[in-house]
Amino acid sequence: MTEQAKQTQRGLEKNAPKREIFGWAMYDIANQAYTTIVISFVYSAFFVAYIVPQDSAWRDAYWSIAIIGSTLMAMVLSPIVGQWIDQGVSKKKLLGWSTAICASFTCLLYWVNPGDIWWGIAIILVTNTAWMLGEAIMSAFLPELATRKNMGFVSGLGWGLGYLGGFVSMVMVSVIIIRADPDTQTEAYISQHQWAMVAISIYFVLVAIPTFLLLKNRPRRLKPVAREPWYVSLNFIKQRNTQPMLFKFFWAFLFYMAGVQTVIKFIGIYTTGELGMTQQDLVAVFLATQFSALFGAIGFGILERFVGARKVLFAVIGIWLLAIFGMYTIHDLAAWSGWGTRDIFLIIALLAGCGIGSIQASSRSLVGLLASPERDGSAFGLWGVFNRLAMLLAATFGVAADLFSRQDALLLVIGFFVIGALLLARVRDLSKASRS
């Protein structure tokens, strides 16, 4: 084995400068605002309640169409973008394009009025696709920023700090912008949601500026791979043969991440539609999840250095199973304890929040650890594909909720985590890889 190959196998000898890691983490803070406000908490519930007509037979399913459509687009584009990175295309340039498209099209939600279902769906298709591509591109910088030993901590730091962005954006939207009473000031309430989309777009761009100023566009550690037609990146059989260990992990990631994505995409709809929570209740739920997610991502990132990522992932999946089972039995728990469903759900949100950041941060660091050095761009592109496949599975929650009930549909989420844990048990050398 050559000296260069040995160094590549060991990874970086030291972390990148702190200012560069800070710049990289700032993008997590910036892009978290979009997924928090538009996809998870605010606009999703607003879309179902106000954009979709009240007499519509299908409600959650319309939002599922937007999520499924953007997911399919990202699944096709992510491996293509990953192949471009491996061939030497600037990651910063690709990240700049995805950021500009996501922010500018989010502004167009200002002109989506009640009844404009398909106009709203079309915009979400573009913005969510761009956001997902940006997430994968930004993650592809990780192997250039941290040693193998510290990759979990750096990933957790970025993911954890990202929840500060979610907190700031939620305060900006729910406390400062959206203040009208939805029952007595309906027109103002709708208008304020529209202006909130403009504010989120501006926030995204401004907070991402340090990323583009501080993050370096380093030359690749190895020579770029040979240029191949774009469709080669979609040959998953070839990709699996090239990186078999990575794909073994991806199958476990697919299922447990489907459970996480269900909560992310439908938490706003579930809490308002099933539990009857108000906008103020949603803010309380959001604060609980954001701060527990921040400390969970960083705390488990530190723990990963000592026990390995596999044990961390099993522990976090266990936390998720407790949280989802608590949601499924929430009415029984309320009757047994004498507490209100709102109070019990806040406790459940703390559990889920602790796991939401750590499970994603540990998964992201493992991609960097397991990827072939010359194909880390493709690895994170494929990570994006499996993340989107997980979103497709998660989107079936909306259909299941319409066919049965939102409460019964939670059994589907429990199944996702159980299958993910069983598949992860087959990947027995993850902890060894994370400590090498």
182-216 residue pLDDT tens: 888 999 999 999 999 999 999 999 999 999 999 98
- The CATH number assigned to the domain with range 17-219+243-435 reads 1.20.1250.20
Give the pLDDT of residue 221: 60
Residue 67, both tokens: 């999520």
Residue 372, both tokens: 């072939």
Task: Give CA separation, 82 vs 9, 90, 163, 267, 359, in Å.
Answer: 21, 11, 26, 31, 22
Does the pLDDT of residue 3 top 70, yes or no?
Answer: no
Residue 329, both tokens: 């039995």
User: Cα(196)–Cα(222) distance, rounded to whole angstroms?
Assistant: 44
Non-local CB neighbours of 244 within 8 Å, separated by 6+ positions: none
User: Cα(140)–Cα(143) distance, rounded to whole angstroms?
Assistant: 7
Does the pLDDT of residue 261 top 80, yes or no?
Answer: yes
Task: Give CA separation, 367 vs 44, 109, 167, 296, 375, in Å.
Answer: 30, 34, 27, 20, 11
Closest CA to 417 of 312, 318, 330: 318
Residue 147: pLDDT band with limits 50, 70, 90: confident
Closest CA to 38 of 185, 170, 158: 170
Give the pLDDT of residue 436: 33
Give the pLDDT of residue 434: 37
Count of beta carbons in the 10 Å neighbourhood of residue 379: 28
Please provide residue 112's backbone torsions phi and psi, each rounded to the nearest 5 degrees.
-90, 115
* 352 or 282, greater pLDDT: 352
